[in-house]
Structure 1
Amino acid sequence: MDDKEKNAEVAKAIKLPDLASYMQVVIKQLEIDKKWSAVHTYTYTLKSVTEFYGGKGTPVPIDEAFTSGRLKEYEEWMRLEGTRNRKTDKKRSDRKHGVPKGLSLNTISTYMRTLKAVYNRLADKKILPYNPKLFDNVYTKVESQTKRALDTKQMNTLLHTDIEKLPKEMQCALAYFLLMFLFRGMPFIDLAHLRKQDVKGKYIVYSRHKTGRQITVRIPKEAMKLIEKFKNMNYDSIYLFPILDKKNAAKEQSQKNGKIKKDKELYMNYLRVLRNFNLKLEKIATLLLPDVKLSSYTPKHNAFAI
């Protein structure tokens, strides 16, 4: 008896919901638990899976989805096509040949690992029989596609750039990038959420957004100059930098909504800010460090270079 026959037998016995319905239940629970990063990943995985099966509203039978053959077909679809969204296809098209490209290996891995987590939930609840080798033939590796760390010369180029000579839209982005580096690899989400009250003389004392752990960082003189120049001038704001101000309109618009919905909107707004930050870093790299990739992860990998 193969995977599909086993799954179909179980499905018939307990009347399984389809995969889309089950994932929506999981997403709702993740929202209640405020696991916004997981909500984001599960939501986009669900969107991709439903597109593969025919689009929104198309049933995705669990007994069919979790078979080695169907998982391989889904992986191959992501590699070759990846989406039926014409706008996305156009953005990802090969400009020379006009052929839509598939999803990146990291995205494929993310979606497959998410499906594996869903499968493990189902197996733990005895809804599906557990097959430890089910995902062996699909791509689930986690690899860095690019060199994230800069060498000393490249880092010095950024540190000694006259920020005021850059286009205005790039000035803040480079300042935030350098501050993350000078603050020993501070994640962008922590920089964005730094409060004015976190500055304690020559130190910044803050709580990691991810873990809640309290961190103390000494403020180097180079960082102090950047803080003075790019600090938040909005007296009513609690934030040290205007990264989330104004753009955080979701906070004001959602006051009448439930707390879970409001928190989700705030997280999605942060993701938009992060994407915008990374786009500006790409432009900075093109201008100052051709053929070098800059991202919000780079300061973490260069944190101990000085």
Structure 2
Amino acid sequence: MNEVETKDVGTTDLSAYMMKVIEELRRDRKPPAVHIYACTLRSFIRFSCSGEEECSMPMQEVFTPGRLKEYEQWMLLRKLTQNTISTYMRTLRAVYNRWMPPGTAEHNPRLFDDVYTGVVSQTKRALTARQMEQLLEADLSGLSPQQQAVLAYFLLMFLLRGMPFIDLAHLRKRDMQDGRITYSRHKTDKPITVRIPREALVLIAKYADRHSASPYLFPILDARIRDSWQSYRNYQDALRHFNRKLGQVMSRLLPGVRVSSYTARHTWATLAFHSGQPVGIISQALGHSSLRVTETYLKPFGNELVDKANRQLIASVRKCKWKNETEYRAGL
């Protein structure tokens, strides 16, 4: 073990250590990671410092099975979701592995075995084909200009093969050429090319950003912002605004139906799956990093198709039985 590692063990404070990591992430222009690390640190400070703004948190005391279990119980008492708890625990695990790298004598590979680090699959909501048709043909006269634009963005995400909101918001004017949109997915950096359907062309023509100074195709983000952290905050604000306005739109057009920015993408995938499109095609359209990701994504619908096949089989058997009984009676 080298001198630096010996010095760190038992003396490094969690808050100081994580702040250094956060600063590195800022320099590397990774705003989402900065946000998660900062939220995790604030949460653990509230747990460990009992309401005080700061206190001593030696990492050798933090990273023990008992202390981590206490933190998990503290979060459960505050009714944090399983996925939030898992996010904080996985962030602490990343910090621990950075501080005490796997393979070193002091590293405990089972340290996080007794706390939750999994992911709870959320029930995703998709609209039906009929509901999408209603939105595509909706009378917009009762909506404000902002609400009309939000509905247009939602429809565009569906029409452009389930494009995520983050990718729609970051589309550049130069990405649209010769009737196609070419861009890289923010999540996977995978290049995507989409032929623009005529229904989408109409919406793009109406709601595109008219300001020549803005590089963005749509007026969703502030083009004047250059700082990566401020850009991330700007996107988060735009996402919250979009979901709030989308809720208002749906309360008028589809009362009682809950949607979010993710619904358009999930609806596209669901309708494509139920229309019999091969999983490989759906995977390519969604820009997933692998077919396995798509299979996991669509797994809940497999049971629906099996149940449908079962109902059809039972119906055919009952129909056959009814037919045989009818023929028997006719012969009497």
AA matched with 2:234? N
Q: Deviation of residue 126 (structure 1)? A: 7.2
Cα distance in 2, alignment partners of residues 127 and 19 from structure 1: 19
Contact 2:158/2:265, CA 8 A, preserved across alignment: yes
Give the 3-state SS of the residue equivalent to 2:192 in structure 1. strand
Q: Deviations over 1:115-158 (max 9, x none)?
A: 11112222217788322332222222212333232232333332
**Does 2:79 align with 1:135?**
no
Task: From the superposition, tell whether residues 72 and 153 of structure 1 become closer, same or farther in structure 2 (CA, over 3 Å).
Answer: farther
Who wins on radius of gyration, i.e. which is larger?
2
What is the aligned partner in structure 2 of residue 174 from structure 1? 151
Contact 2:162/2:265, CA 8 A, preserved across alignment: yes
Contact 1:122/1:128, CA 8 A, preserved across alignment: no
Cα distance in 1, alignment partners of residues 224 and 176 from structure 2: 25
Corresponding residue to 1:288 among 244, 253, 262: 253
What is the aligned partner in structure 2 of residue 29 from structure 1? 24
Given the two structures, how large is their TM-score scaled by the length of structure 1?
0.78
What is the aligned partner in structure 1 of residue 229 from structure 2? 264
Contact 2:154/2:264, CA 8 A, preserved across alignment: yes
| Range with greater deviation from structure 2 (109-118 or 277-286) | 277-286
1:1-306 mapped onto 2 (5 Å cutoff): 14=9, 16-54=11-49, 55-81=52-78, 102-124=79-101, 129-245=106-222, 250-251=225-226, 262-304=227-269, 305=271
Cα distance in 2, alignment partners of residues 170 and 128 from structure 1: 59
Contact 1:163/1:174, CA 8 A, preserved across alignment: no
Cα distance in 2, alignment partners of residues 33 and 209 from structure 1: 16
Q: Deviation of residue 110 (structure 1)? A: 1.1
AA matched with 1:25? K
Cα distance in 1, alignment partners of residues 252 and 228 from structure 2: 36
Contact 1:11/1:63, CA 8 A, preserved across alignment: no
Give the 3-state SS of the residue equivalent to 2:75 in structure 1. helix
Q: Deviation of residue 48 (structure 1)? A: 1.0
Cα distance in 2, alignment partners of residues 13 and 225 from structure 1: 61
What is the aligned partner in structure 2 of residue 86 from structure 1? none
Cα distance in 1, alignment partners of residues 74 and 225 from structure 2: 35
Q: Percent identity?
A: 52
Task: From the superposition, tell whether residues 297 and 128 of structure 1 become closer, same or farther in structure 2 (CA, over 3 Å).
Answer: farther
What is the aligned partner in structure 1 of residue 314 from structure 2? none
Equivalenced residue count is: 265
Given the two structures, how large is their TM-score scaled by the length of structure 2?
0.72
Of Structure 1 and Structure 2, the greater helix share is in 2
What is the aligned partner in structure 1 of residue 330 from structure 2? none
Cα distance in 1, alignment partners of residues 190 and 240 from structure 2: 25
What do you get for the CA RMSD once the two structures are aligned? 2.5
Task: From the superposition, tell whether residues 237 and 138 of structure 1 become closer, same or farther in structure 2 (CA, over 3 Å).
Answer: same
AA matched with 1:75? E
Contact 2:10/2:59, CA 8 A, preserved across alignment: no
Cα distance in 1, alignment partners of residues 162 and 217 from structure 2: 18
What is the aligned partner in structure 2 of residue 259 from structure 1? none
Q: Deviation of residue 263 (structure 1)? A: 1.4
Cα distance in 2, alignment partners of residues 80 and 282 from structure 1: 30
